[in-house]
């Protein structure tokens, strides 16, 4: 009888220990889940592209707005490419990577350097056969869509691959401020092209 009572006590102690361990694990999992959820929410917020949308009835207003949006999106894309070009530990967990980090950074650098050339050639060839007042806006909008897709891909690399999949700390200033974008725009301004009279570069 004493042995049975002793076994029952051990059994109860075992259950208590098990419940405590499961509880601690659940709290830790909840904490990790919250961190990942916060990261995902932040990523979704960064991909709210309403700030790059243009709704104007007039062709002039739409074109001007689209070009301004293109300049800002281009600056955001370049900023994020440059940040990933120089990422280092503990921002990224190199041990969890299959390829060499240096090789991936070189790919990022080549992508940045050649990005606008490929983007512009594609959009200008696509729209140049139909000249008219809507052409500059159409070309700018085409380029803008390339920029937004690039930003989505860069966000995926940073938030999904670097932080979530690879358990890196991430880049604290990966998201540029308005001031950061303003500085980059000064060296990356887009002209409206020669579809409109009065453009300085066409005189």
pLDDT at 68: 93
Q: What is the average pLDDT score of the chain?
A: 79
pLDDT at 155: 96
pTM of the shown model: 0.73
Which residues make Cβ contacts (< 8 Å) with residue 166, sequence separation at least 6? 92, 93, 96, 97
Span 147-187, pLDDT tens digits: 999 999 999 999 999 999 989 999 999 999 999 999 988 76
The domain segmentation of the chain, as residue ranges, is 1-45, 57-192
Span 4-25, pLDDT tens digits: 555 455 555 555 455 445 454 4
Q: Which residue has the higher pLDDT, 140 or 191?
A: 140
Over 23-89, what HEC string results?
Answer: HHHHHHHHHHHHHHHHHHHHHHHHCCHHHHCCCCCCHHHHHHHHHHHHHHHHHHHHHHHHHHHCCCC
């Amino acid at each position: 009888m004493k042995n049975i009572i002793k076994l029952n006590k051990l059994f109860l102690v075992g259950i208590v220990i098990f419940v405590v361990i499961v509880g601690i694990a659940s709290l830790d999992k909840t904490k990790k889940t919250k961190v990942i959820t916060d990261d995902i929410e932040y990523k979704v917020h960064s991909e709210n592209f309403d700030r790059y949308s243009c709704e104007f009835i007039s062709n002039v207003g739409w074109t001007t707005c689209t070009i301004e949006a293109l300049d800002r999106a281009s600056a955001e894309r370049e900023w994020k490419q440059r940040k990933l070009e120089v990422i280092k530990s503990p921002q990224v967990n190199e041990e969890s990577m299959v390829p060499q980090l240096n090789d991936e950074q070189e790919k990022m650098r080549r992508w940045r350097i050649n990005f606008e050339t490929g983007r512009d050639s594609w959009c200008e060839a696509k729209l140049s056969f139909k000249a008219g007042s809507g052409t500059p806006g159409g070309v700018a909008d085409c380029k803008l869509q390339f920029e937004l897709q690039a930003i989505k891909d860069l966000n995926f690399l940073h938030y999904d691959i670097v932080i979530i999949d690879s358990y890196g700390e991430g880049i604290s200033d990966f998201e540029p401020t308005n001031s950061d974008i303003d500085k980059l725009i000064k060296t990356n301004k887009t002209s409206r092209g020669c579809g409109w009279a009065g453009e300085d570069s066409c005189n």
